[in-house]
Amino acid sequence: MDVDGTKSGVVSEEVQVESESLHSLKKDAVDVTISKSSENEDEAAEGDLEDDLKGIPSVVRSVVTLEDNPQEPCFTFRVVVLSIIFILPGAFLDTMNSYRTTSAAYSIFFVQICSYWVGKWLAKILPRKQIGIGKYKFSLNPGPWSIKENVLITLAAASGATGNQGTTPISLAEVYYKTKVNPAVAIFFMWCINFAGYAMSYIARNFLIYDPQFVWPRALMQTNLFNSMKSADLPNHQKQSSRRMKVFFMLIIGMTIWEFFPEYVFPMLSSLSFLCWVAPNNYTANFIGGGMGGMGFLNHSLDWANITSSVMLSPYWTICIQFAAFFFSCWVLIPAAKWGNMSSYKKGLMSNQLLTKNGTVYPSSDLIIYDEGAGKNGKVSFNEKAYQLNGPIYIGVQKAWNMFFDYAAFTSAISWIVLFGKNDIAKNFKKLKQRLFQNKNINLLYNDRLNKIQSHYEEVPVWWFAVLFLITLVIFITIFATNTMFIPWWTYFVAVGVSFIIIVPLAYLYAVSNFQLAIGTFDELLYGVMVQKLSTHKHPASASTYGALSGDLWYRAQYMLQDQKIGHYMHIPPKAVFLSQVLGQLIGVPMNYGTVRWVLDTKMDYLRGIAKDPLHQWTGQSLTSYNTNAVLYVLLGPTRFFSSGHNKVIPFGLLVGFFAPFVIYALYKLFPRMKFNLWNVTIFCSTMSTFYGNLSTGYATQFVVGTFSMYYLYNYKPRFWRNYNYLTAAAFDTGYNLAVLLIFIIFSSGKTMEMPNWWGNNAVSVERCFALGRS
């Protein structure tokens, strides 16, 4: 199984980088903080570094090991075996979770840690025996366990031990419209939406992977954990690394124990509403201070689910923008809408449902007429009489501005990169042309140490990506031309075209800010616009089919790019990274579909509402939401929806989002010292699109934790930050996911065991906002 692609020559460079300094990164766009340089005098000056280290951001130098041994085992039999073992349960759990009210988490850090120790065990017990025919042989045990094997198993799990967006239209069609998709069609559709995203990643790979200025913060966190585990086995690093790993496991245990309190025993800790404690029966105080159905003013959370590791990974400017958007949306617009004259429609401010004129939930199911034979062909049509009877569809004003800013975020990403990222993209595009037309090694077109190390490995040929794309194209056209997945064949090319346009801007944003832009709402709108004048392809499952296709052309590309960056940091042969990601999909998708079939064959009555689940778990509530959106965008149509009330303003978000970056760019040129290039419109608009009607707690706590970690520790305690920040983030995520899994197994996997009510788990309101809880 030799796919390492190592070229002749040995790379074994011991680089001691004693720089404890975490100065501001070379470019503001990838600065980890709105930076104040550290005042520590023991930090090495930038000018003292070797030439091939100066181009690497200091935060990367402090985490990545700048040495490599190409002789280490990489893509081995052990990798394949452990990938299968760790992918199958993850694919099952993640798919099952989409149908349940509570879920069992499957953490990638669990795979990263466990596969390391299981791999070391296999290295001891497996026989050193060659298996195969002729020159096609591989060893069951090629020698000592390698951290590179650990990386590849983790990347395979990140690819396959997940859910699949393709399960949504398959389930929606069968649950609500009794249309069963052929199993072979379903599996190939699920494979292809992911593989097409992998193929599309090639477009952005050449711009965002090799250039060291694109740090990919989440990739750095996993790299830090990999290197910590690796260093614990090295004699010259053993003492310090062992201490760090002890801290890591202690933090996991501590977080696991702690999360039993806010998640089960003491849920009041998840939303500390100080105003409610002062005036628990005052509705106004409850609404302002409540974090569950209120504004969340002065509200904090001690539940890691509401904080997350993102505030220990994202640049500080990203954290500031997100908090500013939360502040404006929750603490300015919501009170303006509730007590001011922001909108003539006063109903449903804290609701994200479709409403009637008087504020009741719109009976959207009445708008569907099941045509004759619907049980076999799933054909439905719009019930015009029911629509005239119930009147136009309304949404609350908060939901309206959520949609407005959602559209604005999408278009702003395109104009933002044209204005602020054009120099980076143009510079890397020149290198891409040299690679393609002059057949140069792209790693050697960069002069940093990381690329020099990677230059000793063969790159993934362009034709690998091209063949993968062509295979998916043929399968997609076959599926859509035979109308087995509900959408017109030509919409596939629209999805590819949109992905081609957005993949670099959105991946650029994620690479520098750790912020992922969701595009689902735009996909649904676009599909609704495309089919609203057609008399066919109006099956409600068609919107989620297009959403799965178009969404994964971006989401899967992004995940592949992030994992390729991990491979770059860990000095993994690119071919091995690519094959591990493909392997993950080959293993995971059949399990995804098998889980769908098990759920639909055994829980269908619960999902359809024919029978009541005694455990209140198999609700399929996410399917219900998708079905509502399908009625809105496919049957009702965007034109009709946007023609009434404040809905008319929503589409203008597309224009506002596109032109807003031009205003910021003008300010940046006028006042360069103000760092307006960090005032990212896409992040602001996307955070403004978050719905806070159900949960507004945790956001202030995120800002506090982010300020402590990414500003104070980063600037004033750089040594401590370097040693423990990413490790702590990974430990807290792992501990939280482990706690949720244990809570699920102990209290929800069989008969649900609810926590008895007490002072910290009040039956009316766990945050003791009684007036809000009774309203």
The tens digit of pLDDT for each residue in 395-438 reads: 899 989 999 999 999 999 999 999 999 888 888 888 888 888 88
Output the CA angle 734-738-743, nearest 5 degrees. 150
- Given a contact cutoff of 8 angstroms between Cβ atoms, the answer to whether 122 and 81 are in contact is yes
Cβ partners under 8 Å of residue 362, min gap 6: 353, 354, 355, 356, 390, 393, 394
| pLDDT surpassing 50 at residue 23 | no
E strand segments, 261-389: 272-273, 299-300, 368-370, 380-382
At residue 615, the pLDDT reads 59
Cβ partners under 8 Å of residue 341, min gap 6: none
User: What single DSSP character describes residue 461?
Assistant: P
pLDDT tens string 246-303: 899 999 999 999 999 999 999 999 999 999 999 999 999 999 999 988 999 999 999 9
Choice among 229-238, 271-280, 725-734 with the minimum mean pLDDT: 229-238
Task: Give the whole-angstrom CA distance, residue 102 versus residue 124.
Answer: 39
At residue 567, the pLDDT reads 95
End-to-end CA distance of the chain: 64
State both tokens at 222.
């996993």
Which residue's entry shows tokens 């190390």? 453
Task: Give the whole-angstrom CA distance, residue 768 versus residue 367.
Answer: 40
Task: Give exposure, 194-206, as e/b (b: 16+ Cβ within 10 Å).
Answer: bbbbbbbbbbbbb
Bridge-partner residues for 6, per DSSP? 457
Which amino acid does the sequence have at 285?
Answer: A
pLDDT tier for residue 38 given thresholds of 50, 70 and 90: very low
What percentage of residues in the chain have a pLDDT greater than 70?
91
Nearest CA to 77 out of 123, 124, 133 is that of 123
pLDDT tens string 530-558: 998 887 788 888 989 999 999 888 888 99
| pLDDT surpassing 70 at residue 5 | no
Task: Give the whole-angstrom CA distance, residue 583 versus residue 561.
Answer: 16
At residue 376, the pLDDT reads 44
Cβ partners under 8 Å of residue 106, min gap 6: 89, 90, 93, 94, 161, 737, 741
At residue 24, the pLDDT reads 36
Task: Give the whole-angstrom CA distance, residue 285 versus residue 289.
Answer: 6
Residue 599 half-sphere exposure, CB side, CA atoms within 13 Å?
A: 28
- Given a contact cutoff of 8 angstroms between Cβ atoms, the answer to whether 618 and 749 are in contact is no
Cβ partners under 8 Å of residue 133, min gap 6: none
Task: Give the whole-angstrom CA distance, residue 631 versus residue 623.
Answer: 12
| pLDDT surpassing 80 at residue 78 | yes
At residue 125, the pLDDT reads 93
More confident residue, 521 or 200: 200
At residue 235, the pLDDT reads 67
Mean pLDDT for 463-487 is 94
pLDDT tier for residue 633 given thresholds of 50, 70 and 90: confident
At residue 18, the pLDDT reads 32
pLDDT tens string 289-336: 999 889 999 999 999 989 989 999 999 999 999 999 999 999 999 999
At residue 643, the pLDDT reads 85
pLDDT tier for residue 769 given thresholds of 50, 70 and 90: very high
